[in-house]
Structure 1
Amino acid sequence: MSKIIKRKYKKVRIAFKKDLIAKCSENKALAMLIVETYTAWHHRRHIIKIWGMFRKPAYKEFQADYSKNLMGDHLSGRDDIWKSLYYADRELHDKFKYLIPETYAMGDALGVAYKVLRA
């Protein structure tokens, strides 16, 4: 099933990568922004997994300690590739935002960023 879904977006993803390579080659800061966005995306997922531990009764001590010492110390807003591209390159954002799912776009953008930064 996932191969069918990936195939559905193949042409659009190829065009997205091609445009993104051109933009990142011109502006290395955009490539770095993509890498930082990816890192923030994973930090947010990690925090959400920690919050998921609150549902388990075996972690009552953890819940109390977290609530007492850390609650409210970390903001967890929306950090995705489309938001970064919205501010960095509005044209690219508007062209591909509703054509590619966020997870595929993040993976493609990260691959392009690493490719450009290694060169």
Structure 2
Amino acid sequence: MRIQDIIEGKKEWRAHVARVKALPQDYQIVYKEMQKYLFKVGPVELSDGMSLLSGIVDLFEEGAALGKGVLEVTGRDVAAFCDELIGDSKIYADVYQESVNQEVYKAIKKDVDKTK
């Protein structure tokens, strides 16, 4: 990654944060919780997580402009809303489950091979 790419990424992130700070307080709170949720369980295959976050801000700006409360936009179950956003994307939990299953299979196979 070039230095110029890093600089551009920081500029883009700062502009994004400024958009979030311009939202009404209830939207900011929900956005921050959604961001934490997505960073913990979020999709591993999205090449640009920034576009997902920017899309959320777009949606929130539109909702705020229409005078809607944030929960009118997301619904009361914000985690379920996040899950809908990432859809069928592979998430970190899926990757971890696969690795656990592979390790168990290897251990069992190794143990079976010892008893032969």
Question: TM-score, normalising length from structure 1?
Answer: 0.34
Instruction: Compare relative contact order (CA 8 Å, sep 6+) and give the higher one, 1 or 2.
Output: 1
Question: TM-score, normalising length from structure 2?
Answer: 0.34
Q: Which has the larger radius of gyration?
A: 2
